[in-house]
Each structure stands twice: as C-alpha cells, then as structure tokens.
Amino acid sequence: MNTLGNILWLIFGGLALAVAWAIVGIVLCVTIIGIPLGIQAFKMASLTLTPFGKSVVYGGGVGSLLANIIWVVLVGIWMAIGYVIAGVLNCITVIGVPFGIQSFKMAKLALWPFGAQIQ
C-alpha cells in the first residue's frame, strides 16, 4: 500500500510540491541567517515527496521551541492551514482519506518543524 500510495501521491501533485519545497530551501540557504529555515524546507520536501510509510518524531530542546515559535508566527500557521484544508478536501471521499491523513501529518510538521525527525 505504501508504494502505491506514494506513486499516486507523486502523480497527483506530490512531486510538484516537493520540487517547490526544494526550491524554497535552496533560496533560503543563500544567506547564513536563512540556512536553518532552508533545512526545514528540505525536511518538508523529503516528507512531501513520499509521505506514505514515513513517520515524524518530535523532540528538541529550548532552542527548537524558540525557533518553532518564530516559525509559527512568520510562516508556519499559513502553511499548516493550507495542508489542513487539503486534508479536509481529500477526506470528502473514501478514496481520498489516506491522502488526507498524509496532508494532516504534513500540516503538523509545517507548523512545528524544528526538532522533528522524519523516519
């Protein structure tokens, strides 16, 4: 199921989203200040490319907490809202439920990426 889900995900927009995240990551890594944000964008690109069969483990310390608070205020809330809307729209049909669940997983990571590890 994971392989089929990932293939369908890539065909119906996952590849475009992953490429967009990678481009954002490259742009953010141009400056020294943007490198930590670029790393988080690459993390999102990795999960967006093949979300089925991957899990996100959250951890980190005070530094991650502070970085996540800044992230949420600047961009995280808007990205998470977009993923939640996509998840709700996917869950309208029975066939779309697995894709909606993956969108909700990405919404949580988009909201709180620092200190998270993708496994």
Following DSSP, what letter does each residue of 40-102 receive, concatenated? Answer: HHHHHHHHHHS-TT--EEE---HHHHHHHHHHIIIIIHHHHHHHHHHHHHHTTSTTTHHHHHH
Please give the radius of gyration of the chain, using alpha carbons only, rounded to the nearest integer. Answer: 14
The predicted pLDDT at position 76 comes to 87
User: Which ranges of the chain have pLDDT less than 70?
Assistant: none
DSSP 114: T
The predicted pLDDT at position 51 comes to 92
CA distances from 54 to 64, 74, 93, 117 (A): 22, 27, 23, 10
The reported pTM is: 0.85
Instruction: Record the tokens describing residue 44, joined without a space.
Output: 């999102």
